[in-house]
Amino acid sequence: MILHIDMDAFFASIEQAINPRLKGKPLIVGSRGNKMRTVVCAASYEAKRLGIGSGMSSKEALRICPSLEFVSAEQGKYIWTSEQIFAMLEGFGFPLNYTSIDEFQMDIGAHPEPLKLAEDLQKQIYANFNITASIGIAKNWLLAKTASKVKKPNGVTLITNANLKEVLSRTPLGKVCGMAGKTGAILSTRGMQTAWDLYLKMPEFFEENPGKFNEEPEKPKSIGHSYTLPRPLENPMVIQAWIRLLSEMVGERLRHRNISTKTIHLWLNGPEIGNFGAQKTFALATSDSFEIYSRSLKIASQVPQKRPKIRALGVTASQLIPQEGLSLFLKQNQREGLIKALDRINSRFGDGSIYPAQVDLTRRVK
């Protein structure tokens, strides 16, 4: 059985969770800071109910609802939250995949109570992050993903062989993965309006959809994160803040898997430097985010230009080894205690409740 978890209006919900003043209000998240000249990249359910949706111009959205709340997108925050949710879901002990920043798939095998498990997951997500998710459960990933769209927001839908016809008959074709665009439009002119119409013509599309979990999940050979900035930036403080954020994310994943890294690879891309990539192997393995950050900066100092413009950047850890139980170095031990405490607080309160103040600088980039 596959369980597909789809966060509801993810970016907008995060903004509402962080700022209670926005709760229950129609809200759009714009891709740029200028409220009048941007595109809606996420809308809260309150806005969706008024007919506002992503892809719409902010002007149009404001015409529909003049009192609309507006926040400009902060990618770092969404990536961060997504990572935290992934880590929390991993704690349930089932194989887990990312399908996008706000969608996760879990292979729950022959779990005896999939509905109860789904409700538990929803409760945990809400308790930790103050946002809701919709969950679909079915025998393969495509049906599970389709099921997650049936009752949004905060719904759970289980598709079995017994209710397959009933559920697919009331699911518009456009809600099936891959059918939202042209393909769906063409098929609908051929008389296919619902997912069930498509099923009758092409059952293999639903039935033989290869599971994403067929293979044993591999142990990672490297763990990395990269990010493309909205425009080239040269302020070293801001660039360092991004390296710090990416290092935090890499470190958090290493610690969650109880592994450390010896080799750090830093990648920078910009109009003057093109692709700069270099790695360095250190004697002592680490999973400390600050250490990963310091090592990344050492590599960054090899860039010949003084203040190069940076458009995209990435931090990757490789040569991964199991974490040792006790460190020989007292200072290291103290830091590890602190890191563990921070990880616990973050997983309890969600959304990086506590993270380095430096990371805040990444928010200033619009």
What is the distance between the alpha carbons of residues 151 and 141, in angstroms, rounded to a whole number?
17
Enclosing H/E stretch for 228: strand 222-233
With CA atoms as reference, report the closest residue to 42 among 11, 70, 3, 13.
11
- Is 132:6 a contact under the CB 8 Å cutoff? no
In which order are the strands placed within the sheet that holds 27-30? Answer: 40-43, 27-30, 69-72
Instruction: Give, to the nearest 10 degrees, the angle between helix 75-90 and helix 114-129.
Output: 140
- Is 352:84 a contact under the CB 8 Å cutoff? yes
Indicate the residue among 6 and 291 with the shorter CB distance to Mg ion.
6
Give phi and psi for 222, each to the nearest 5: -150, 155
- Is 101:78 a contact under the CB 8 Å cutoff? yes
Torsion angle defined by CA atoms of residues 299, 302, 304 and 307, in that order, rounded to the nearest 10 degrees: 40
Torsion angle defined by CA atoms of residues 320, 256, 242 and 225, in that order, rounded to the nearest 10 degrees: 60
- Letter string b/e over residues 131-142, b meaning 16 or more CB atoms within 10 A of that residue's CB: bbbbbbbbbbbb
Indicate the residue among 69 and 102 with the shorter CB distance to Mg ion.
102
Q: Which residues bind Mg ion (CB under 5 A)?
A: 6-7, 102
Task: Work out how close the CB of 125 gets to Mg ion at its nearest, in angstroms, rounded to a whole number.
Answer: 12
Indicate the residue among 82 and 296 with the shorter CB distance to Mg ion.
82
Cis peptide before 217 (omega within 30 of 0): no
- Is 26:159 a contact under the CB 8 Å cutoff? no
